[in-house]
């Protein structure tokens, strides 16, 4: 079975390292250290300048290949439910994540969000069941679609901010969305498994008191 690309190779681990190239970890460069992490020959704690609060996000992202559900390359859209989902009883300052309503995309994102007790609002927009990458190509996910779905959900009336986080694959619509709505639009990672690193110390382990 030909599997769909989960974009695990697009996780930018280097972005979240101190990048001092101090060699105290035993490697000559941070790039080498990332390769050691990927091959499980080292762990995040081996970097003496990495914040302890990032150990867990790194572990989740590094283990994503075992964590995320596999799904086949799709020949037809697979629509799932649309609308707002509340993760971990979010308060009014919780981040608002935007995604599409492909059923497999939803499984991937909820699997990642299941690794934290941190709160989020998650809005599944109607992309006619297309995955985010295909939705951008086929125009089933556009700045207009996102803005309409956000307004329809009423989420901005429930939060104390006007910032949304769009998928990295939808980065091309950031400026248009920002200009047409006045909202703060942040581009998230391309791979959902990078979300723990993207939110950093806000990504608390489920069992954390």
**Confidence class of residue 182 from pLDDT cuts 50, 70 and 90?**
very high
Whether the CA torsion 150, 154, 157, 159 is positive or negative: it is: negative
Q: What is the chain's Cα-based Rg?
A: 18
Give the Cα separation of 119 and 1 in Å (integer).
35
Nearest to 45 by CA among 13, 37, 8: 37
- The secondary structure of residue 183, as a DSSP letter, is -
CATH architecture of 14-67: Orthogonal Bundle (1.10)
Task: Note the pLDDT tens digit of each residue in 107-153.
Answer: 999 999 999 999 999 999 999 999 999 999 999 999 999 999 999 99
> Residue 72 has what pLDDT?
79
pLDDT over 80 (residue 208): no
Please report, for the chain, the start and end positions of each structural domain, with discontinuous segments joined by +. Answer: 14-67, 83-202
Task: Note the pLDDT tens digit of each residue in 32-47.
Answer: 999 999 999 999 999 9
CATH architecture of 83-202: 3-Layer(aba) Sandwich (3.40)
Give the Cα separation of 98 and 112 in Å (integer).
14
Q: Tell me the residue length of the chain.
A: 209
Task: Note the pLDDT tens digit of each residue in 39-92.
Answer: 999 999 999 999 999 999 999 999 999 999 888 787 789 999 999 999 999 999
Helices 174-181 and 143-153 cross at an angle (nearest 10°) of: 50
Place of tokens 């859209």: 77
* Planar angle of CA 201, 156, 196, nearest 5 degrees: 20
Q: For the whole model, what pTM was predicted?
A: 0.93
Exposed e or buried b per residue across 156-178, where buried means at least 16 C-beta atoms within 10 angstroms of its C-beta:
beebeeeebbbbbbbeebeeebe
Q: Are 143 and 173 in contact (CB under 8 A)?
A: yes
Beta strand pairing status for 83-87 and 96-99?
A: unpaired
> Residue 29 has what pLDDT?
92
> Residue 107 has what pLDDT?
96
């Amino acid at each position: 079975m030909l599997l769909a690309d989960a974009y695990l190779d697009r996780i930018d681990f280097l972005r979240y390292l101190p990048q001092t190239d101090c060699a105290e970890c035993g490697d000559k460069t941070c790039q080498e250290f990332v390769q050691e992490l990927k091959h499980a020959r080292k762990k995040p704690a081996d970097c003496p300048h990495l914040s302890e609060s990032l150990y867990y996000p790194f572990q989740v992202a590094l283990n994503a290949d075992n964590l995320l559900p596999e799904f086949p390359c799709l020949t037809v859209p697979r629509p799932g439910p649309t609308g707002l989902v509340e993760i971990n009883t979010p308060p009014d300052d919780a981040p608002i994540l935007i995604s599409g309503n492909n059923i497999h995309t939803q499984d991937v994102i909820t699997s990642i969000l299941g690794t934290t007790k941190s709160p989020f609002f998650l809005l599944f927009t109607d992309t006619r069941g297309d995955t985010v990458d295909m939705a951008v190509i086929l125009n089933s996910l556009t700045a207009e679609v996102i803005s309409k779905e956000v307004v329809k959900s009423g989420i901005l009336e429930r939060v104390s901010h006007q910032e949304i986080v769009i998928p990295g694959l939808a980065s091309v619509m950031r400026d248009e969305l920002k200009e047409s709505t006045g909202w703060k639009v942040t581009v998230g990672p391309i791979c959902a498994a990078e979300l723990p690193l993207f939110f950093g110390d806000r990504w608390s382990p489920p069992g954390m008191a």
